[in-house]
Structures are given as structure tokens and as C-alpha cells.
Structure 1
Amino acid sequence: MVRHGVIVMAAFATLLWMCGAAVAPQEEAREKPVTKVYDVRDLIMPVPDYVAPTLDFPHGIYRETEPGEPPGGLFADVEDVEEEPLTAEESLHDLIELTTQVVEPGTWEEGTGHAIRGRQGMIVVTHTAATQTKVETLLNSLRKKQSKMVSVHVSFVQPTAAAMDQIMKEKRLLAVTAAERAALSALVGPKLCEAKLLAVDGQQVYVTAGETTEFLRRVEKEVTIETLNSVTIAWARPVVTESDTVMLNMGASFARLIPQKQTNVAPTQKCLTVRGTYRIPDGGMLLTSGGTLMDKDPREVYALIQVQVIAPKEAKVRGK
């Protein structure tokens, strides 16, 4: 009997262990929920795109104005066709929906004791401690991605023919290391103009600088005033990959007045525009498209682009 009793007790212990193992997940699922508040204002702040104006060619150069009409402007009138960014409330709603789809999906329904709500840039999460950790991980990942910024420096340069031969021969169009960048900078020659931009990862920004020069075109019957632009425009949309390589959509234009030695001669203008999509490593410098400025002495002009990823110190979000 004792022997049978030992067997019975052993069997009962085994059954109890198996039942305990099966019940454990259910007990974990019934873990008492806790409530935390997360500040997500930086994640839902709208990041608008800024559409660059275009040089008003040919109208901004040669447009004749009617009597009483102001002279032609520096830039063309360009209709903004970009979509309006989401409002903060819409972004908050999207963030809540993303969280419930990614973190423990199927556990947020009514009656489970779990909930997520949004209010004034905050999300209030009621769930288990383990799920709260997953929510924090998701928000930290989103914050890490959105915290990156990109500096874009574009210059129009005028390398000599000998320098271009050397650049092409040595395949120095792309420079990554400090030594390579210094060597390429020394070869490209003087800068005709330059622009510096700073954008959030994925955002389009632009910068303009210049002035408008007015001159008399005709005075026979009525005064006709026209304008010429001396301006630099650059726009860029950088996207940072996981390896911190920058995919860059950008464009740049410059226009310069050419002085005239003769009197009673309308001034002329030289201009050049570059647009393209480029893949440049973080800190890299690329010598890209260019063209010829047809002046008394034709000059080859190229665009020199440098990018730098700026990633601030990681700031982890914590629930309160």
C-alpha cells in the first residue's frame, strides 16, 4: 500500500505540476494592470515640408510691367501643391492606433481591463507591467528615428580642366574620409556661391538669398521697368537609412548679373540649375552634375554636396 501510496502521490504531484504550468500563463494574463502616462508631444508635432520657389525665368528677367504695376519679383509664383501635414490630434490618434496594433494586439478590447487614451499630447496606458515596457520600447524607437537631423551643404564650384581630368582619372567624385574630403576640396577650385540647409530626417526645406536689380527698358511712350535677379536657391529632402547613409533629393540654382561695360545696354544674367537624387554616406562629399556658363570665357561649373547626420543623445521616454 505504501508503495501504491507513493505512486499515487507521485502521480498527483506530477498532475499538479502540469496543471500549474498550464495555469501560469492564465495567471500572468490576469496580472493586475497598472496605469502610466507618456508624454508624446514631440512624436505628434507636425513636421511640414517647405516648397522652394523657383527662379522666375524668363518672366522675372524680361517681363515688361504695365503702368502702375510693380516690377517683376525675384521668384516665380508657385502654387503650393504639398498636402497639409496631419494635425497634432490626428497624429495622436494614429500613434494610439499604431500602439494597439504593434504592442500585444487583441488585448485592448473593452472588458479586458486594458485601455489606451490620448489627451493634449499625452497617452494614458492601462495594461500589465510587461506591456508597459513594450510600449516604452516602441515610443523610444519612434523617437530615435525622428530625432535625427541632416545638414546639407551645397556649393557651386569652378574646377580647372586639369583638376577635372585628375578627379575623373582618380575617381574622386565621392569623398568619405577626412583626407579624401580635403583632397577633393583642394581640387574643385573657388566657390561661386553656396547654401547650407538643416532638415529633420525626411523633411523638405529650402534656403534663398539674393537681390533684385531694376533697370529701365523703354522710355519712349511710357516708362517700362524690368528686373534681373542675383540669387541662390537650394532645397533638399534627406532620408537617413539604418546605416546612416543619406538618400538625398535636392535641387539648387544660382543666377548672377554680368556687368556691362557699354552704356545704354541692358544687363545680362547667367544661371545654372542642378536637380537630382543622390546616395551619400554620412559625412561624405559628392561632386555631381554641372554645366557650362557661356560667358566671354566659357566656364565649367559643378555642384559639390556634403551631408552630415546629426543624431542627438538618445532620450528614452518613461511613463509616469
Structure 2
Amino acid sequence: MIRLATATTILAAMILGANAQVARLELHPVLSVTLKDSDFLGGRKDGQQVTIAGELRIPKAGNEKLSAVVLLHGSGGVGGTGSMIDEWSRELNQLGIATFALDSFAGRGIVSTVLDQTQLGRLNMVGDAYRALDVLAKHSRIDANRVAVMGFSRGGQAALYSAMNRLYGTLGPANNLQFAAHIAFYPDCMTSYRADTEVSDKPIRILHGAADDYNPVAPCHAYVERLTKAHKDIKLIEYLDAHHVFDAPIFRTPLTVTAATTTRRCQLAEGDDNQIVNRETQKPFTFGDTCVEKGPTLAYNETASNQARVFVRDFLTQAFQLKQ
């Protein structure tokens, strides 16, 4: 299907039902690479080439240049159980914002990494996000200077660290283009990277649950504190009693994923050779380390979800200077 898609493939004119706010729906191939995290951190750009895909929803007909948000999925994939990509696309489209939902898994032959996170290095989705920005910058309906990135869990980690100047310098978009904002929902902040406080001057926002036992909020507090001391535009919005994927109504009844691995008890850092090191053992990290645990909880929190939606709407309305 990816081979049949072209940069201007039009799938449908969506003016009916749940997608009444979408004037045009397109699938675009996105040429990216697959790298080990250590290679990405080491500055390599010549990874294995891969074609992934993105779904572009244009909410308004006409010739007006629109703002856009690149959406990055979590470990369950773009359409996996609990994924909120479709719902957030509709939410943003209602504001007149185009959305580009990126699928980083299918083109790589991956369905889910929930049970096996070793299938794909954590930073590959950063490179994918940069390539998505390249695609959008060439689109006649998108304002290249008003494109934000928003991700969830694994995708939230990519949305967060895609602000790093060092990563922009390795595989960043053409013409020194950068995202206009970075929004990370319940990201993994357990890893400290070299020069990770040297980030874009664009606003960075983290939305996280205080009760999250998949990706605990505490390491994000520490990272935000370091970025704040570096005078960066970053804020963490923490929701009390909110677990992982607190915005997903499918988890109104909390679910413990007994086989899912979590690094919630690990302290990780980039070593001198660009390998990710377990600070406890001072050896390269593996998912066989004793700090790796299983059984995180997924649970919806209606109050947190509603507050997060209001926050994102208000934040992007201001960031994109949308007409009220």
C-alpha cells in the first residue's frame, strides 16, 4: 500500500459522520532510516532506509496555509488498543489545525513493542518526526513555521527529546527548520542524554499523571528542573491520581498489563561511547537488568483527560495564534 501512495495521494473527501470537520484526507510516504540509539547519538545518518506512512487530515477547504501537528503513537502502534491518535486528530481538526498521524511501526514490520521494546531503538521516532516535518514543509496547505509535534508514551518521549539541538543537528529537517512546539503526554524521562539541556527555544510541555507506574513522573520533574535552570521554555502539567494513558476512555476499568516491561525503577544515562548505561551497574543497559519490571497499570481519568484537552487547545491556540 505504501508503494502505491504518492506525495499527493487523496484517499477521500471527508465531510460526513465523525470526520465532518475534515475537508481532505491524504496518505503520504515518509522516507526515514532505522538506527541503533547509540548510532543516532553518535551522529550517524546512514541507517537502514525505510518507508513509513503518515495520514494527513486537512480540516478546511481552500488555499489558506494551516498550522499542523505531527502525532506520534505509543508502544501499541498508531491504531492499537488505547491509542488516542484518532481522537486527538479530531480534537485538533475542530480547531482548524491539520494533523499528520505518523505510523513508525508498520513500515518496519512491527505491530507493537509493548511486550518487546528491543524491536526499535527509542530515538528512531525522533528521526521519523523530523522527516514528517520535511514532508509537511513541502505541502501547499501547510505553514512550515507552524508545525508542532505531539506524542504519547513512547511517542511522547520522541516528542520531548526531538527538541534537543544535538539531535536536530544529526537528522534534523532541511533548511534548519524546527518544530514550533513540543507536547509530550506521559513520556519516559528515565534516560539522561549528553547535552540534553541544549534544546530548541520553542515551548516544550509535558502532561503527566502523578500515579503513572509505567513511565513515572519523577524523572520528568528532574529533567524539567534542569531545563528550567537552563532558561528554557518548559512546563510540566501533572494530574493527581492519573495513571498511564489517562486520556483513553477504553481504560475506564483499569488494566494491569502483566507482560509489559517497564524501566520505571531504572536510572539510565548515555555513556562516553554513546551506549545507554544502567547507572546502578555501570554497564550497558539491557531489558534483562534487575531494574526492569513488569505489570504497569493503564487507567482513564476523566478529570485529567478533560483538563488536558482544555490545556492543549488553549496552548496551541496561543502558540499558533489562531483566531478565537
- TM-score above 0.5, yes or no: no
Structure possessing the higher radius of gyration over alpha carbons: 1
TM-score normalized with structure 1 length? 0.21
TM-score normalized with structure 2 length? 0.20
The structure with the largest strand share of the pair is 1
